[in-house]
Chains A and B, each alone.
Chain A
Amino acid sequence: MRTASLYAKVRGGATTVRVLFRPASTVEAIRTVSCTHGDRVVFAARMGRAMPADPSFEFRFRGAKPGDRIGLAWTDAAGASHSVQGTVV
């Protein structure tokens, strides 16, 4: 089971999000990664083979406030879906 960490911090009206995947015990590569704020998708990535097994991303979006929940979802090459939740600070 691959796990990931999600950090999000508001500063100056923009929320910076850092996504860190842990090295996997399985060999399936991650193919898609997305983040949501409420019902809104704020980040979407599609990954090829030149990405590490434990990728990291940092991105920024607007419209969140401390205490909001954000979600991280990803799928792997075997078609399995995973998700974790985080809170904006």
Chain B
Amino acid sequence: MLGVLAAGAAFAATGCAADRRRAAAPTSSPDGTFPDWPAAAFDATSVESALTALYGTTEVTQTDDVVIDLPVFAEAGAMVPIAVSTRLPRVQAIHVLVRENPAPLAVSFAPLPGADPLVATRVRVERTSDVVVCVRAAGRLYANTADVVVTGPDGCAGHKVPG
């Protein structure tokens, strides 16, 4: 449990510490920004437990200042493109969580000094799901949600065919 908290605290501190740490001795990670890979958060089986592993809290403020660009439909098994940006000041971390995946936390980003708080990537969405984007900014958590409908091979959107 201590390990969980340590990883979460380290991750939470990334944004503010990145400036100072750039000049410091390199850590085990090549970019020197995250001391480790937050295994407890990536292994978490719910959005809430992933956030708890990262920050020790599930208290988030819903906001449209986190902008999610996600297709309405995606093919089953496809890698779904997602683009995220935010107008929030002092962004420290951006997390993409796919609620219905067995391990919802897909990817975490640390926008660094001089980088714009936007990123585009692809994530695996195993079935029709909310996608929660959680942004750590100025020491607080903000989130917005979009959903993607995963269509089966027969194009039967959102409906499970028995058998």
Contacts and interface: CB of A to CB of B under 8 A. Distances in A.
Interface of A: 14, 31-32, 34, 36-37, 39-52, 55-63, 73-75, 81, 83
Contacts of A45: 107-110, 119, 121
A46 B38 contact: yes
A56 B33 contact: no
B34 A46 contact: yes
Interface in B123-141: 123-126
Contacts of A59: 109, 115-116, 118-120
Contacts of B120: 57-59
Given A36-B31, A81-B30, A44 B123 contact: no
A73 B30 CA distance: 7
A77 B102 CA distance: 19
Interface string B28-47: 01111110011001100000
B30 A75 contact: yes
Contacts of B108: 45-46
A60 B31 contact: no
Contact of A58 (B29, B112, B121, B125): B121
Given A34-B31, A73-B30, A75-B29, A46 B37 contact: yes
Contacts of B115: 42-43, 59-62
A32 B38 CA distance: 11
B159 interface: no
B29 A32 contact: yes
6 contacts: A32-B34, A39-B22, A46-B37, A48-B41, A50-B98, A59-B116
A26 B27 CA distance: 26
B105 interface: yes
A41 B22 contact: yes
Given A50-B101, A50-B106, A62-B114, A41 B121 contact: no
B18 interface: yes
Contact of B122 (A52, A60, A81, A83): A52
A72 B138 CA distance: 28
Q: Give me the 6 closest cross-chain CB pairs, A-B, nearest first.
A: A34-B31, A50-B106, A48-B42, A73-B30, A61-B115, A58-B120
A82 to B, nearest CB: 9
B124 A41 contact: no
Contact of B30 (A52, A62, A83): A83
